[in-house]
């Protein structure tokens, strides 16, 4: 089964060190292609990608204020013409790989794969505010749904293409009171059971963790996440972020929000 990593970035050359960590860490564990959708790219941006062995794809994002959900459309468009079987679509600047994320995907029983943050929407101020602003009619229904992070989504090509297209359309119907809409759309769709054959990994599964909630950020104690997380709390051990069983997470997202983890991760990846 052919696999690929895909993400979108603007200002590629200025962010090439972040992109290098993303792509190089993936290649330590996976032999799939790395595809970067280069928004509003320059010749130097494309060259910078090629120097890292990344396949650059030029795309135009007219309003970068809404780049978070505009990327959904561009990613879906790329998937439409691809011959890759299985993709993982992630944020680029703050995702690092510690294992092969495809190894844990049960493609016999599921088509799509996401991960939770360990707390419910009603327990997390940022997502509560975000959903209440963009989809106020769905907020009360979503409050008891675990926060699902849109920064990492894997799936079979056709199913993922369909999901991203539907997420984009939902974002377009939502309020523009907040410029980051993609995660709100995903949570609304999960709450309403609108995604078939979906696997939601939890923190104890060791597939992905998201530092904004489950990492030792400045909000971990002040916002009460330390006592609200439903699963074991991730920790740094011997240079890697692990779950409560001591198993390395395949992916760590938002690691740059924990400065000491950020430095360790860069060192482990020779950056």
* pLDDT tens digits for range 34-45: 999 999 999 999
Q: Is the pLDDT of residue 268 over 90?
A: yes
Can you give the pLDDT at residue 92? 98
Containing 212, the helix (H) or strand (E) segment is: helix 211-214
DSSP at 249: P
Pick from 199, 214, 270: nearest CA to 244: 214
Can you give the pLDDT at residue 177? 97
Domain positions in the chain are 3-268
Q: Which residues pair with 36 in a beta bridge?
A: 7, 56
Q: What is the token pair recorded at 217?
A: 């950020």
Distance from C-alpha of 44 to C-alpha of 42, rounded to nearest angstrom: 5
Q: Is the pLDDT of residue 271 over 90?
A: no
**Residues of the chain with pLDDT > 70: what percent?**
100
Mean pLDDT of the chain: 97
Q: What is the pLDDT of residues 130-159, one digit of tens each?
A: 999 999 999 999 999 999 999 999 999 999
Q: Could you tell me where the beta strands, DSSP code E, fall in the chain? A: 3-10, 33-39, 55-59, 86-90, 95-97, 112-120, 146-156, 198-201, 208-210, 235-237, 240-242, 251-253
Q: What is the pLDDT of residues 209-259, one digit of tens each?
A: 999 999 999 999 999 999 999 999 999 999 999 999 999 999 999 999 999
Q: Is the pLDDT of residue 54 over 90?
A: yes
Q: What is the pTM of this model?
A: 0.97
Distances (CA, A) of 90 to 76, 130, 203, 206: 13, 20, 17, 17
Neighbours of 214 (CB within 10 A): 26
Domain 3-268: which CATH number of 3.40.50.20, 3.90.550.10, 1.20.1260.10, 3.90.1720.10: 3.90.550.10
Distance from C-alpha of 81 to C-alpha of 190, rounded to nearest angstrom: 27
Can you give the pLDDT at residue 56? 98
The residue with greater pLDDT, 1 or 208, is 208
Q: Is the pLDDT of residue 120 over 90?
A: yes
């Amino acid at each position: 089964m052919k696999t690929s990593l895909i993400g979108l970035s603007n200002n590629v050359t200025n962010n090439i060190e972040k992109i290098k960590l993303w792509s190089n860490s993936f290649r330590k564990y996976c032999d799939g292609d790395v595809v970067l959708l280069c928004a509003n790219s320059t010749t130097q941006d494309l060259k910078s990608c090629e120097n890292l062995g990344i396949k650059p794809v030029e795309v135009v994002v007219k309003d970068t204020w809404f780049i978070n959900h505009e990327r959904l459309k561009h990613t879906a468009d790329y998937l439409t013409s691809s011959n890759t079987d299985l993709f993982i679509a992630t944020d680029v600047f703050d995702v690092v790989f510690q294992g092969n994320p495809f190894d844990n995907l049960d493609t016999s029983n599921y088509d799509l794969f996401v991960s939770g943050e360990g707390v419910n929407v009603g327990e997390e101020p940022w997502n509560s505010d975000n959903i209440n602003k963009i989809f106020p009619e769905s907020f009360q229904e979503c409050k008891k749904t675990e926060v699902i992070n849109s920064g990492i989504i894997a799936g079979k090509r056709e199913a993922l293409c369909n999901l991203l297209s539907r997420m984009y359309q939902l974002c377009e119907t939502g309020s523009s009171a907040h410029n980051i809409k993609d995660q709100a759309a995903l949570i609304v769709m999960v709450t309403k059971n609108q995604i078939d054959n979906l696997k939601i990994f939890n923190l104890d599964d060791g597939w992905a963790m998201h530092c904004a909630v489950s990492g030792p950020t400045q909000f971990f104690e002040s916002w009460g996440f330390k006592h609200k997380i439903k699963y074991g709390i991730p920790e740094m051990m011997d240079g890697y972020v692990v779950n409560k069983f001591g198993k390395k997470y395949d992916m760590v997202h938002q690691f740059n929000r924990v400065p000491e983890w950020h430095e360790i991760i860069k060192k482990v990846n020779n950056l």
